[in-house]
Amino acid sequence: MANQFQSQFDKQKVKSLTLRTESITCRRQRLKSLKTWILNNKDKIRKALHADLRKSETETDITEIFTVTTEINDALSHLHQWARPQHVSPGMTYLGTSARIKPEPKGVCLIIAPWNFPFNLIGSPLASCLAAGNTAILKPSEHTPATSKLIKEMVEDVFEPELVTVIEGAVPETTALLELPFDHIFFTGSTNVGKIVMGAAAKNLSSVTLELGGKSPVIIDETASADDAARKIVWGRFNNNGQTCIAPDYIFISDIVKDKFVASAKKYVSQLFDSNNEGMAHTKDYSRLVNANHASRLVDMLEEAKQSGAKIEFGGDHSTEDRFIEPTLLSNIDESNRIWQEEIFGPIMPMKVYEDINDVIHHINKNDKPLSLYLFTTSRKMKKHITQATSAGTMVINDVVVQYAHPNLPFGGVNHSGIGKSHGKYGFMEFSNQKSVLSQRIGLTNALLFYPPFNGFKKWV
Ligand code: NAD
């Protein structure tokens, strides 16, 4: 069956070959045009995000617009340096030669995005992709249709289709796209779909970046400031209605600081999200779940936990119709509950008191490696121990979520939470092939000793 997207792909393939020889200035020009469109259309972006996720304007500015313009600005400032060939030493054995590592564009790239930060998670990888000199086909999420439509409008305004094009759609469209022999696929989404993407990529040996999900644990030990931890966790968990890949998903807490943590968390929910005392169902600073299906799934998880004896420390109110669940903290969790087993991706947070930190480490290590691990402590020994004894894509001590925007840290998961890294130089590298270029002098070769005939040579080893 002829692939419906073959002709778009073929046009990009031809274009991608011409991009190989163009100057860095052309890439910078594209990034500037993208940035200009975004800055001139902030209101349209805010409206789309409000229609899809009822995000407040400020939240959209910070988590959807600023994140993309920051990625573009970083590339504009550093692209010459990132793209410069890196000369390497010949060592004793290659004296007389010169060698360099030259980042070259991969070619035609596919970027597939989820719905939770639907503008940012197309825009940021697109910036890295263009900075590295590639063409791109973009597939936004079908669950955020207003943003998907706007992304299409943006791309049609700024780029020719041979360079960047948008395919809107859901599973059938993505499945058809995944049959094409892309030079690189950058996927952000769930672990299960990540496996499908990697399986499809294997058929064409396309390289992949997989930015996936999972359960990101938080440890709060007896030396932590419970109030500080509560403020940061409440923001990180309930912002975007908990629909953040690196949101703290569940908590292990020391009994010594538990009561203080619960009281502070309750206080900060009102202070941060309902400062005008309108009630959580009405405040404009608290966004909504993406759709009623997702809300039902979360309500089912909550009910199951309650029936198994979970205690609601605060929250628990919900309206599936309004895609609303109050910020909720649960304790006394039965470990067999879905809320303890699956990625939650919503505004409910389960918490367990621990006695022995080794049990916590054992729990983390027996499960899939998390995208992020958060530790609240003032103990140097604990910081060192947890950093060494566990694995995670990113780890933050005494804060949450802020690692995402760090200008010089790679972002990404490990195994089930992701493969490959993004952001800044790391995003550029992901969309580039590190080509080794070795230059020899006429009449010389370092391989002379290996040329036959072999008689007369002593044994080498
Ligand atoms: P998803 O995996 O359901 O969908 C992501 C994309 O894949 C969408 O564009 C969708 O159309 C497509 N897709 C869905 N099912 C498919 C299939 N069977 N075959 C081919 N394509 C398919 O993810 P989601 O629900 O949109 O997003 C939530 C998930 O994304 C969470 O698990 C979250 O942790 C993760 N996430 C990760 C990051 C990160 O940076 N690591 C960022 C945001 C979200």
| pLDDT digits 0-9 by tens, 166-210 | 999 999 999 999 999 999 999 999 999 999 999 999 999 999 999
Amino acid at position 218, single letter: V
**Dihedral sign (CA 429, 214, 189, 397):** negative
Same domain, 298 and 425: no
Same domain, 62 and 116: yes
Residue of the CA atom closest to atom 16 of ligand 1: 171
Percent share of the chain, pLDDT over 70 = 98
Task: List, in sequence order, every beta strand (DSSP E) within 270-357.
Answer: 311-314, 318-319, 324-325, 328-331, 348-354
Q: What is the pTM of this model?
A: 0.96
Is 447 a member of any domain? no
Token pair recorded at residue 43: 């209101």
Amino acid at position 208, single letter: V
Q: How far is CA 63 from the centre of its chain?
A: 13
How many independent structural domains does the chain possess? 2
Is 453 a member of any domain? no
- pLDDT at position 143 over 90: yes
Confidence at 449, pLDDT banded by 50, 70, 90: confident
Is 449 a member of any domain? no
pLDDT at site 450: 82
Point out the residues that are catalytic: 211, 245
CA distance 330 to 348: 7
For a pocket test of ligand 1, which of 174, 237, 246, 373 has the largest count of ligand atoms closer than 8 A to its C-beta? 174
Q: Could you list the residue range(s) of the whole structural domain that residue 187 is in?
A: 5-212+417-433
3-state secondary structure at position 188: strand
CA distance 394 to 375: 11
Decide if 318 contacts 299 (C-beta within 8 A).
yes
Same domain, 352 and 401: yes
CA distance 132 to 160: 18
User: For the domain that residue 327 is a member of, what is the CATH number?
Assistant: 3.40.309.10
Is 461 a member of any domain? no
221 Rama sector, left if φ>0, alpha if ψ -120 to 50, beta otherwise: beta
CA distance 198 to 177: 13
User: For the domain that residue 71 is a member of, what is the CATH number?
Assistant: 3.40.605.10
For a pocket test of ligand 1, which of 188, 373, 417, 422 has the largest count of ligand atoms closer than 8 A to its C-beta? 188
- Could you identify the residue written with the tokens 């030259």? 102
Beta strand 372-376 with 348-354 is: unpaired
Confidence at 158, pLDDT banded by 50, 70, 90: very high
ipTM score of complex: 0.97
Q: Which residues are near ligand 1 (CB < 6 Å)?
A: 112-116, 121, 139, 141-142, 170-171, 174-175, 188-190, 193, 196, 211-213, 245, 343, 345, 371, 413, 418
CA distance 20 to 37: 25
> Residue 195, CB half-sphere, CA atoms under 13 Å: how many?
4
Same domain, 223 and 356: yes
